[in-house]
Chain A
Amino acid sequence: MKRKKGSLTPYLFLALPLLLYGFFIIYPMLYSLYLSFFDWEGMSNKHQFIGLGNYVDIIKNDEIFRISLLNNLRWCLGTVLLPVTLGLLFALALNRKRSGAGFLRTAVFTPVVLSVTAVGMMWRWMYDPTTGLINNALKMFSGGKVTFNWYADTGNIIYYLIVAGSWAYTGMCMIMFAAGIKSISGSVLESAMLDGVNGRQMLFYIVLPQLRNTLNTVLVYSMAQAFKVFDLVYVMTGGGPGRKTNVLASLSYETVFSYYQYGRGSAIAWILTIVLLFISLVVNRLISMQKE
């Protein structure tokens, strides 16, 4: 295209988005990094540079941090076991045009568009010991013998949260896999069909190997999502009881907005950021290197 070199117009286009983005996204990130090197209690005037002090203290001595990180890792594992697996199965089953497929697709994807706030409240009701769906079903089928109180089952609460999260996330995995399956070229499938390949062979020797890239994408994206979890934890347990169901995001939030430890909370947010960068840069690279 003919256009004057060094013209200013393109930069005028870019100015407004860049300004807003810079001021409310880039600057806050850097400011948060800066704050993470300080011992700053928001309510007091204490504001002291301590270098990596916050990070060292969090990693070495903070029991709740360790629990939160572990919960994020559990969330990763749970996400791979439930939504990723189920999503792949659904996508494979729904691939061929069968009647009823549209309904199932719509049903599984519905929770994805609902707010996590609504989903969290719904599951709190489902688990509710007296009026909840699950407990009433248990009572009905066991003649009142079996009941459960999810909130008293302290060690396992995080898994109940993961189940709720999985219900809401499976549809997302399903459509990512569906897009991948669709992109497998028709000619490959056709020539396989001409060679007399049966359904099972088609699945294991042609479709699944071709889905490898998609699987990598889904895994990396899902891990990142598992580390970003916040709303569901906040709505269902608020990190409790005993702060034991926190994840990194909720711990950072709690540290800043409930305990007013601004420096420490920023450091936790940055640890979360570093984990996410690690997943997207390093893990992504590792997986794609393995392919070659």
Chain B
Amino acid sequence: MTKWKKAAWCLLFVVIGLIWLMPVFYLINVSVKPAAEFYTEGVFSVTLHPTLTNFAEAWRKIGTFFFNSVINVVVSVPLGILIASLGAYALARLEVRGKGFFRVLFMMGMLLPVHVTLLPNYITLQKLNLLNSRAGILLLYTVFNIPFAMYMLQGFFMGLSREIEESAIIDGAGSFQIYLHIALPMARPAIIISGLLCFIAVWNDLVFAMTFVQNNKKMPITAGLLQFVGEFTSHYEKITAGILLSALPVFILYLFFQKQIMEGMAEGAVKG
């Protein structure tokens, strides 16, 4: 009885999971089909001659965009977290007047719609001559990583036991030394979670990408993908390949760090 029940649940879960991912499976199925076959045989048939030509062709068009997004992530995520960690440490551990006010102020950044900042930041970047430049978009991604990273790190620092820090103070270490040599290394779990979520946010961002970068050479993957699709209207065998390529880095991250990503997102949502 219980054995059968268990098997039934398991079957149910697997079936629902497969149905849920069905769009993705068919997406893959289409992307490995030779173009000619796609138009004669349609979506459902499984090809006997799987090919990577669609991927090669998509890559030729979006490779640069992909590379741009890699740079965006590699620069803005560590930088944003580092800057946030300074503020988080001050608000969690040091004597600051108006702590409550600052905490709420930084948390507002997670609640507000980015749309309210777009036009003013567009004007600012224009004035600084940073529109359509790598520096401009990197700056914005770095700053917009701060609120979430700060929230995560602050929570973590507040939960740390004070004992180690206190003994360091007795040894005559200054605040900055304690932050750098004790607090920051201990915060590794929170840094990893912040890093993962900021990575996903920057990689997946579309609004900043399409607003601040109209230059083809600097365009991130999301905006680039849109352009690529515009070029290949209804050539879905190539579009599907492009979609899959664009999702690959985040998907790999998800496979390895599923637990941390879920944990971080659930925690961020509670205060969002």
Interface membership of A228, Cβ < 8 A: yes
Residues of chain A contacted by B105 (CB below 8 angstroms): 21, 26
Q: Is the CB of B246 within 8 A of A100?
A: no
Residues of chain A contacted by B21 (CB below 8 angstroms): 107, 110
Per-residue contact bits, chain B 192-208, to A (CB 8 Å; 1 contact, 0 not)? 00000000100111110
A126 to B226, CA, bound (A): 17
Q: Is the CB of B206 within 8 A of A115?
A: yes
A25 to B221, CA, bound (A): 24
Given A28-B121, A117-B226, answer yes or no on A140-B207 (Cβ-Cβ < 8 Å).
no
Q: How many residues of B contact A (CB 8 A)?
A: 97
Q: Is the CB of A231 within 8 A of B86?
A: no
Per-residue contact bits, chain B 174-207, to A (CB 8 Å; 1 contact, 0 not)? 1110010000000000000000000010011111
Given A21-B146, A121-B239, answer yes or no on A256-B119 (Cβ-Cβ < 8 Å).
yes
Q: Is the CB of A113 within 8 A of B115?
A: no
User: Which of A113, A167, A231, A256 is within 8 Å of B206, CB to CB?
Assistant: A231
**A residues 56-107 with Cβ under 8 Å of B?**
93-94, 98-101, 103-104, 106-107
Given A13-B87, A121-B243, answer yes or no on A224-B117 (Cβ-Cβ < 8 Å).
no
Residues of chain B contacted by A265 (CB below 8 angstroms): 119
Given A18-B87, A21-B147, A98-B13, answer yes or no on A133-B26 (Cβ-Cβ < 8 Å).
yes
A281 to B90, CA, bound (A): 27
Residues of chain B contacted by A257 (CB below 8 angstroms): 118, 211
Residues of chain A contacted by B261 (CB below 8 angstroms): 113
**B residues 4-42 with Cβ under 8 Å of A?**
6, 9-14, 16-18, 20-24, 26-27, 30, 38-39, 42
User: Which of B24, B146, B211 is within 8 Å of A20, CB to CB?
Assistant: B146
Q: Is the CB of A100 within 8 A of B11?
A: yes
Closest to A36 in B: B116
Interface membership of A16, Cβ < 8 A: yes
Q: Is the CB of B258 within 8 A of A249?
A: no
Closest to B175 in A: A9
**B residues 233-264 with Cβ under 8 Å of A?**
234, 236, 239-240, 243, 246-247, 250-251, 253-254, 258, 261-262
Residues of chain A contacted by B225 (CB below 8 angstroms): 117-118, 121
Nearest chain A CB to B97 CB, angstrom units: 9
Residues of chain A contacted by B16 (CB below 8 angstroms): 104, 107
Residues of chain A contacted by B9 (CB below 8 angstroms): 93, 98-100
Q: Is the CB of A13 within 8 A of B86?
A: yes
Residues of chain B contacted by A3 (CB below 8 angstroms): 94-95, 169, 175
Interface membership of B166, Cβ < 8 A: yes
Given A18-B87, A103-B17, A104-B13, answer yes or no on A224-B112 (Cβ-Cβ < 8 Å).
no
Closest to A164 in B: B23
Residues of chain B whose beta carbon lies under 8 Å from any beta carbon of chain A: 6, 9-14, 16-18, 20-24, 26-27, 30, 38-39, 42-44, 83-84, 86-87, 89-91, 94-96, 102, 105-106, 109, 111-113, 115-121, 123-124, 139-140, 142-144, 146-147, 150, 162, 165-166, 169, 174-176, 179, 200, 203-207, 211, 221-222, 225-226, 229, 234, 236, 239-240, 243, 246-247, 250-251, 253-254, 258, 261-262, 265-267, 269-270, 272
Between A and B, 6 residue pairs with Cβ closer than 8 Å are A217-B270, A231-B206, A231-B207, A265-B119, A269-B116, A273-B116
Additional 17 contacts, C-beta under 8 A, given A1-B169, A104-B17: A10-B95, A16-B86, A16-B87, A17-B106, A29-B112, A32-B117, A110-B254, A112-B265, A113-B253, A114-B204, A121-B239, A125-B239, A126-B23, A128-B236, A273-B112, A273-B116, A277-B111
